[in-house]
């Protein structure tokens, strides 16, 4: 039997909302025991030191937290393997402390049949060393006309159903899909956005977009999309998650839905928590994301919503794009940014600015996404899978996009000076990354 003892760690416990010094004993890929008492620790360390079967990982006083569960990762398979494969995405995830990638179905072709889902599960198993859980399309071809085989897809391992950034405009189709999903207990993930208002927009309406002459959308389009989806939740009883809430105006609607007891959760992206529309500057296409970056007031409101728990989940919305699709006039350039590898150091900006605490950050990165998908990981507790990330929150790093493990290098943080470095990542007790 092999066990591993992580000693001398600062344990980030999102469930208990605590940071404590201690150790973790891992056995058979699972957390066996959390030890925080000095007496227990010294006794155990002594036993371990005399035993051949216990490996010791000295954490050197750095932070040990449950590995990140990243909902909404785009891998280029099938269709765009030149942008990202399961191999490269898996390496990027491991280097970023992401132990579970929950992948998007907006591939080419879309993941909308059990057969394609099975294909990517095999690819993931062969290539990626972190956990990969696929999402499937809610409607065939993500076209918003007919629901997919939700039952078969669940049997094949789909953990949630979404058409990605394609909004299902036909409310009849969506209401039926949500009703059917509810009967199976499936989680439906929506992209709250009014498709009419946001058609053609690449920026958030306001002075900045107007001066730059970019087609822009009011953040109200997000509120309208969320209101519509929540009404359908009320009507159908479906389990619903909003992929990205990015506008302050949408938050009261979310708050009401939760207060009314609907099974609704919401996510937001690392980019919307750390950047604002001014970062587009002179048409920097690496900052083009979808929804577009918002105002600084929106960003602050989002951080507060994560802190209060109104927004449940933070994701990287990792979207690899090659140089060709970014080196275009802003309107024509592809949207999206890679984020698996940079997410943790980027988000640590918020803890250094004392806007969020470390346990709070990991509640949104690990605990809540795991809970939403019914996974046992995401916590530091006996019996949970030993999916762990060890990081030094204070170590200065400079992001160099050409050193990223992703095939695509489209990060808006190239050259950014950040504080925080992942030192090691473990999946089911196995080390998958070492800095």
Partner 1 sequence: MRFDQRHLLGIEPLRPEEITTILDLADRYVALGRSRDKHAQSLAGLTQINMFFENSTRTQASFELAGKRLGADVMNMAMQASSIKKGETLIDTALTLNAMHPDLLVVRHPQSGAVDLLAQKVNCAVINAGDGRHEHPTQALLDALTIRRAKGRLHRLTIAICGDVAHSRVARSNLLLLHKMENRIRLVGPATLMPAGIDDFGAEVYDDMREGLRDADVVMMLRLQKERMDGGFIPSEREYYHRYGLDADKLSHAKDDAIVMHPGPMNRGVEIDGTIADDINRSVIQDQVEMGVAVRMAAMDLLARNLRANPKTLSA
Our measurement of the distance from residue 407's CA atom to the centroid of its chain's CA atoms, rounded to an integer in Å, reads 19
Contacts of 246 (CB under 8 A, 6+ apart): 219, 222, 268, 269, 272, 291, 294, 298, 302
Measured at the CA of 62, the angle between CA 59 and CA 64, to 5 degrees, comes to 80
What are the strands, taking DSSP E only, across 270-387?
A: 313-315
Q: Give the one residue of 141, 151, 157, 206 binding partner 1; rule: CB under 8 A.
A: 206
Beta-sheet pairing, 63-66 with 68-73 = unpaired
Q: Give the one residue of 9, 57, 68, 216 binding partner 1; rule: CB under 8 A.
A: 216
Nearer to partner 1, 152 or 283 (CB): 283
CB of 216 to partner 1, least distance (A): 6
CB of 271 to partner 1, least distance (A): 20
Count residues near partner 1 (CB under 8 A).
Answer: 21
CB of 258 to partner 1, least distance (A): 30
Nearer to partner 1, 35 or 217 (CB): 217
CB of 285 to partner 1, least distance (A): 8
Residues 302-361 that bind partner 1 (CB under 8 A): 324, 327-332
CB of 241 to partner 1, least distance (A): 30
Nearer to partner 1, 131 or 205 (CB): 205
Nearer to partner 1, 281 or 353 (CB): 281
Give the count of alpha carbons within 13 A of 346, CB side only.
25
Contacts of 252 (CB under 8 A, 6+ apart): none
Contact 76, 84 (CB under 8 A): yes
Contact 333, 288 (CB under 8 A): yes
Residues 105-144 that bind partner 1 (CB under 8 A): none
Of 313, 385, 299, 397, nearest to 348 by C-alpha is 397
By CB under 8 A, is residue 211 in contact with partner 1? yes
Q: Give the one residue of 86, 161, 180, 208 binding partner 1; rule: CB under 8 A.
A: 208
What are the strands, taking DSSP E only, across 14-167?
A: 18-27, 30-35, 54-58, 63-66, 68-73, 98-103, 131-134, 161-162
Of 280, 420, 294, 427, nearest to 358 by C-alpha is 420
Contacts of 93 (CB under 8 A, 6+ apart): 70, 73, 99, 101, 128, 130, 340, 341
Phi, psi for residue 296 in degrees, rounded to 5: -65, -35
Q: Which stretch binds partner 1 (CB under 8 A): 4-12, 104-112, 210-218, 262-270?
A: 210-218
Nearer to partner 1, 209 or 375 (CB): 209
Nearer to partner 1, 13 or 298 (CB): 298
Nearer to partner 1, 193 or 295 (CB): 295
Nearer to partner 1, 151 or 195 (CB): 195
Q: Which stretch binds partner 1 (CB under 8 A): 30-38, 205-213, 240-248, 257-265?
A: 205-213
CB of 339 to partner 1, least distance (A): 24
Nearer to partner 1, 208 or 413 (CB): 208
Q: Give the one residue of 53, 207, 259, 374 binding partner 1; rule: CB under 8 A.
A: 207
Nearer to partner 1, 39 or 211 (CB): 211
Contact 385, 334 (CB under 8 A): no
Q: Which stretch binds partner 1 (CB under 8 A): 203-211, 350-358, 365-373, 427-435?
A: 203-211
Residues 268-297 that bind partner 1 (CB under 8 A): 282-283
d(CA 275, CA 266): 19
Q: Give the one residue of 214, 251, 266, 361 binding partner 1; rule: CB under 8 A.
A: 214
Question: What is the biggest distance separating any 2 CA atoms in the chain, rounded to whole angstroms?
Answer: 69
By CB under 8 A, is residue 86 in contact with partner 1? no
By CB under 8 A, is residue 247 in contact with partner 1? no
Q: Give the one residue of 162, 205, 246, 321 binding partner 1; rule: CB under 8 A.
A: 205
d(CA 327, CA 334): 9
Q: Using CB under 8 A, list all residues that contact partner 1.
A: 205-214, 216, 218, 282-283, 324, 327-332
């Amino acid at each position: 039997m092999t066990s591993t003892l992580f000693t001398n760690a600062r344990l980030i416990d999102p469930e208990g909302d605590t940071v404590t010094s201690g150790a973790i004993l891992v056995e058979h890929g699972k957390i066996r025991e959390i030890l925080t008492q000095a007496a227990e620790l010294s006794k155990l360390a002594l036993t371990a030191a005399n035993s051949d079967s216990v490996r010791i990982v000295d954490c050197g006083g750095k932070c040990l937290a449950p590995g990140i569960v990243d909902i909404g990762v785009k891998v280029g398979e099938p269709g765009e393997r030149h942008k990202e494969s399961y191999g490269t995405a898996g390496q990027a995830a491991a280097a970023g402390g992401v132990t579970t990638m929950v992948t998007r179905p907006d591939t080419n072709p879309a993941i909308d049949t059990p057969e394609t889902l099975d294909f990517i599960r095999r690819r993931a198993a062969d290539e990626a060393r972190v956990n990969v859980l696929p999402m499937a399309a809610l409607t065939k071809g993500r076209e918003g006309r007919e629901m997919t085989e939700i039952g078969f897809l669940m049997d094949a391992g789909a953990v949630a159903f979404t058409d990605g950034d394609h909004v299902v405009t036909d409310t009849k189709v969506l209401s039926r899909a949500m009703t059917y999903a509810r009967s199976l207990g499936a989680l439906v993930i929506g992209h709250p956005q009014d498709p009419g208002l946001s058609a053609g927009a690449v920026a958030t309406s306001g002075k900045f977009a107007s001066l730059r002459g970019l087609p822009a959308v009011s953040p109200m389009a997000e509120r309208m999309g969320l209101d519509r989806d929540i009404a359908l939740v009320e009507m159908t009883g479906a389990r619903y998650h909003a992929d990205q809430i990015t506008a302050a105006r949408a938050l009261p609607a979310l708050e009401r839905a939760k207060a009314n007891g609907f099974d609704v959760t919401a996510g937001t992206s690392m980019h919307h928590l750390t950047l604002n529309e001014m970062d587009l500057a002179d048409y920097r296409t690496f900052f083009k994301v979808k929804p577009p970056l918002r105002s600084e007031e929106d960003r602050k409101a989002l951080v507060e919503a994560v802190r209060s728990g109104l927004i449940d989940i933070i994701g990287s919305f990792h979207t690899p794009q090659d140089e060709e699709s970014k080196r275009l006039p802003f309107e024509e350039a592809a949207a999206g940014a890679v984020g698996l590898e940079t997410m943790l150091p980027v988000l640590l900006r918020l803890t250094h600015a004392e806007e969020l605490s470390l346990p709070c950050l990991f509640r949104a990165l690990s605990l809540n996404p795991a809970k939403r998908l019914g996974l046992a990981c995401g916590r530091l507790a006996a019996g949970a899978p030993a999916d762990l990330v060890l990081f030094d929150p204070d170590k200065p790093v400079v992001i160099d996009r050409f050193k990223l493990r992703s095939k695509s290098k489209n990060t808006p943080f190239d050259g950014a000076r950040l504080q925080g470095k992942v030192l090691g990542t473990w999946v089911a007790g196995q080390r998958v990354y070492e800095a």
